[in-house]
Amino acid sequence: MKIWNLQKSNQTTFRYPKDYPTKYIALVRAKFAVKKILRWVRVQKLSTMMLGGQYHTSHELIEIDITYQCNLKCNNCNRSSAQAPDNTHINLSQIVNFVEQSLQRKTPWKRIRILGGEPTLHPEFQSIIEQLLVLKTHHPDTVIELVTNGYGRKVNAALENLPEGIWVENSYKTGNVQPSFGPFNMAPQDSVLYKFADYSNGCDIASSCGMGLTPQGYYPCAVAGGIDRVLGLHRGRQSLPSPSDEMRDLMDIACRLCGRFYDGHYVPEKLRPSLEVQKNSRSWDKHYQDWAKRRIDIQ
């Protein structure tokens, strides 16, 4: 069982395993097989026309990808930090604007997660943390959480120096093979079974993790921002989207390429096939080739 450590900086360590006991696994497997079929039916164009989009982007939760740089290059990274590596960082001014616009909103954030890439490698990591803590002084109940791979001396030195008030989710990665990852680069648009899918349905990441802020702007989820980076479209919203903006146009672009779209919901690790190697469907082979070519062109 995979156990995530969640610790408040300089304070107690908490552990919360979320999985099912092995003795119920057959039952759980059957339940998730049914859920998968229901999901497929739900995302078809006809169902979507009748019922609307299945998942809604949370405007109370946000994930901020502050950099795509990473000191690990994991297979199937859903930010493409391994497949299309670069050192694109968010500008500090974007964080300052985010803080200002957040303070103007009526509703405070329930949770702000700081991710990447490996977020501690951002050259202005400390200043970003200081800016985000300004929000906490106005809204003490806002949880600010740093998601790190916990790998290497530089990363751990940054973790040691975190100020009070930042929670840490440390995955303690030790290498680039992550068997529990989903096949992010298996694009549903490459499957004949999804020919009539409506990709603006999104998935539960948009609801349970919230919208994304990335160097390219705001998206219905941070994964969508990472996809837009590889596509080079720069479609992200440039200021904090209003609660009425569901960003379904951005889901339509990103979700057709995202392997997470298939199930649409959380799948327990015991039910996931072990993924040892990088897997790309044909759309992703092409997008990564195009990305590499664009990089050469601008150098």
218 CB neighbour count, 10 Å cutoff: 25
Residue 183 near ligand SF4 by CB under 6 A: no
Q: Is 160 exposed, middle or buried (0-12, 13-18, 19+ CB in 10 A)?
A: exposed
The partner residues of 114 in beta bridges, in order of sequence, read: 64, 146
User: Which listed range, 25-33, 86-94, 253-261, 281-289, lies at the site for ligand SF4 (CB under 6 A)?
Assistant: 253-261
Based on CB atoms, which residue is closest to ligand SF4, 117 or 215? 117
Residue 70 near ligand SF4 by CB under 6 A: yes
What letters, b where the CB count within 10 A reaches 16 and e where it falls short, cover 198-207? bbbbbbbbbb
User: Which listed range, 6-14, 40-48, 157-165, 201-209, lies at the site for ligand SF4 (CB under 6 A)?
Assistant: 201-209
Residue 128 near ligand SF4 by CB under 6 A: no
Collapsed DSSP state (helix, strand, coil) of residue 215:
coil
Sign of CA dihedral 71, 77, 78, 80: positive
| Whole-angstrom distance, CA of residue 53 vs CA of residue 226 | 22
If you count them, how many residues does the chain have?
A: 299
Residue 223 near ligand SF4 by CB under 6 A: yes
- State how far the alpha carbon of 106 is from the alpha carbons of 178, 220, 296, in Å: 40, 20, 45
With residues binned 3-state (H G I as helix, E B as strand, rest as coil), the percentages for the chain, rounded to 5, are 40, 15, 45
Residue 256 near ligand SF4 by CB under 6 A: no
State phi, psi for 237 to the nearest 5 degrees. -65, 140
Choose which of 53, 61, 98, 116 interacts with ligand SF4 (CB under 6 A): 116
From residue 136 to residue 155, what is the string marking binding to ligand SF4 with x (rule CB under 6 A)? -------------x------
Least separation in angstroms between CB 50 and ligand SF4 = 21
Residue 205 near ligand SF4 by CB under 6 A: yes
Residue 79 near ligand SF4 by CB under 6 A: yes
User: Which listed range, 42-50, 136-144, 156-164, 202-210, lies at the site for ligand SF4 (CB under 6 A)?
Assistant: 202-210
User: Which listed range, 112-120, 158-166, 270-278, 282-290, lies at the site for ligand SF4 (CB under 6 A)?
Assistant: 112-120
Q: Where on the chain is the footprint of ligand SF4 (CB under 6 A)? A: 70, 72-74, 77, 79, 81-82, 116-118, 149, 173, 202-203, 205-206, 220-221, 223-224, 251, 254-255, 258, 260-261
